[in-house]
Amino acid sequence: MTPPQASPSYRATDRTVPTRARERASHDRELVHAILDETSVCHLGFLRDGAPVVLPTLYGRVGDTLYVHGSTGSRPLRTAGRAGQTGPGLAVCLTVTHVDGLVLARSAFHHSINYRSVVVHGTARPVTDPEEQRAALDALVDHVLPGRSSDSRPANARELAATAVLRLDLDEVSAKVRTGPPADDPQDGALPYWTGVVPLVRGYGAPVPADDLDPSVPLPSYLSAL
């Protein structure tokens, strides 16, 4: 029997079915994970004094859980630690977007962007178990660069005490994807404007060693393979 966590799709809810461009939306688990794993910076939305705040932050993924972290003194992490109606937690929306191309239609109206995004709704709750905290911090480092957490000095007790970690379960989550060429109105087909897609490319430049790096330390394989 297939365990529930291996379901191929996340559930659809009012919050995860868009009102617009519904054909671009998906709840496919593999797609959601693939989009999340391609980068390590998300935009995290939460409320401060009743108003929305959106901040970029790192995240890590372990199965169907995302982790974000910050100083124990930071505002969202302090807020998440306070008791709410359902225990400590912070209502959040976590969004990850890859911009893949500029879509140039003949009409200004049909200009668009090729993109892949994931939007997660939920409550971010403080991680209090020390083992989960450590695993989450490893996941955050390895999400940036797989293999790096075991090739750096682990956090000590003081650093762990200064770092708050929040977990956000992947439950109300959806992906949205636009690919392909422009979709001009048929009657615009003869207009003399260039039309097509300009791909955006991302990659890594050559690693720049710190000035004080001991020259006998080799470039690790996870960097030479980038």
Give the footprint of a copy of itself on residues 15-44 (CB under 8 A): 15, 19-20, 39-41, 43-44
Is residue 1 at the binding interface for a copy of itself, with CB under 8 A as the rule?
no
Closest contact distance (angstroms) between CB of 63 and a copy of itself is 21
Residues near 220 by beta carbon (within 8 Å), at least 6 away in sequence: 147, 148, 151
DSSP 3-state assignment of 16?
helix
Tokens (6 digits) for 101: 């191309």
Pairing mode of beta strands 83-84, 172-178: unpaired
Number of residues that bind a copy of itself (CB under 8 A): 94
Is residue 89 at the binding interface for a copy of itself, with CB under 8 A as the rule?
no
- From the list 84, 130, 147, 207, which residue makes contact with a copy of itself (rule: CB under 8 A)? 207
From CA 122, how far away is CA 89, in angstroms rounded?
Answer: 10
Segment lying near a copy of itself (by CB under 8 A), choices 5-13, 29-37, 60-68, 185-193: 185-193
Closest contact distance (angstroms) between CB of 201 and a copy of itself is 5
DSSP 3-state assignment of 55?
strand
Pairing mode of beta strands 112-126, 90-104: antiparallel
Closest contact distance (angstroms) between CB of 53 and a copy of itself is 5
